[in-house]
Amino acid sequence: MRKLFVFDLDDTLIDNVHDYAEPILDSIRIIIKTLGSKAPHVTKLITIEHEIDARRVHEINPETGKEFLYCMERFPGSQVATYQEICQQVGAIPKPAIEAKLYQIGMKAFDERLYRRNIKPGVKRVLKFLCTQGDTLVLFSKGDSRVQTKKLKALKAAGIDCFTKVRVEDLKTPKMFQEICDEFPGLSPISIGNSYESDIVPALEVGYFGIYIPVETWEVIGKMDEIAAKVDKSHCLILADIRQIISFYGRLP
């Protein structure tokens, strides 16, 4: 039976997790330089930034009246919010010029020059193999379409242009996975991604098989063992590398 492969994008096809590391470190340097001895230790600053960015996912974006979720403005805004929080803690007055500088630093996480070189090894070979089997490939990404569109361009520039459909949403739900499946009747649906909770669980709920390729992103730091223990191994395969899909292909439903 021919298959329907629904691929995640970030940290599944293109490495993304470390795109944010340099801007975070640069922001922390600016905060320390600005506040001097008043600034907390660097480890505490990084913890505060992480907590603020995670919290802001579900805070309301005043520009849209909706939750920030994974929109492009959330991360650079989190660098500013970190500075503001630290200033409040130490009794300093935030400087608008520093806030503007931190926002610009945060925007460096979306430098499109990173995307092509961040394509995971073997992606092109795996996707080409699946196409030769007569399978249908769909890209289903969670994120900001302004950012994800640039990543798609990077894939195409690398000769990876094999998706029958591309869908970008703020969140992934069982209904969305069902809608994708309904567009391609008669195929055996398989969802591939690095996030078990986001890429696999909602797909399993509507009858997909899962291929989970774990990556420890900022959302699941310290939870990887806990997540692995939850995996429904009767309906989900855990792989260490996307290239293993070729050797495990014969075992897929």
> pLDDT over 90 for what percent of the chain?
98
> Which pTM value belongs to this model?
0.94
Whether residue 62 contacts residue 140, with contact meaning beta carbons closer than 8 Å, is answered with: no
Which single residue is written with the structure tokens 């506040």?
35
The whole-angstrom separation of Cα 182 and Cα 11 is 26
- Count Cβ atoms below 10 Å from residue 43 Cβ, excluding itself: 9
Beta-bridge partners for 139: 7, 166
Structure tokens at 115: 């995307």
Chain CA centroid to CA 29, Å: 25
The whole-angstrom separation of Cα 236 and Cα 253 is 11
Distances in Å between the alpha carbon of 171 and those of 20, 70, 176?
20, 9, 9
Contacts 24+ apart (CB under 8 A), 42-49: 45/82, 45/86, 48/82, 48/85, 48/86, 49/24, 49/78, 49/79, 49/82
Q: Quote the pLDDT of residue 218.
A: 87
Strands (E), the chain: 3-7, 60-61, 66-67, 136-142, 165-169, 188-193, 209-212, 236-238
The whole-angstrom separation of Cα 11 and Cα 27 is 23
Q: Quote the pLDDT of residue 248.
A: 97
Low-confidence ranges of the chain (pLDDT < 50): none
Cβ within 8 Å of residue 55, ≥6 positions away: none
The whole-angstrom separation of Cα 249 and Cα 113 is 33
- Count Cβ atoms below 10 Å from residue 68 Cβ, excluding itself: 23
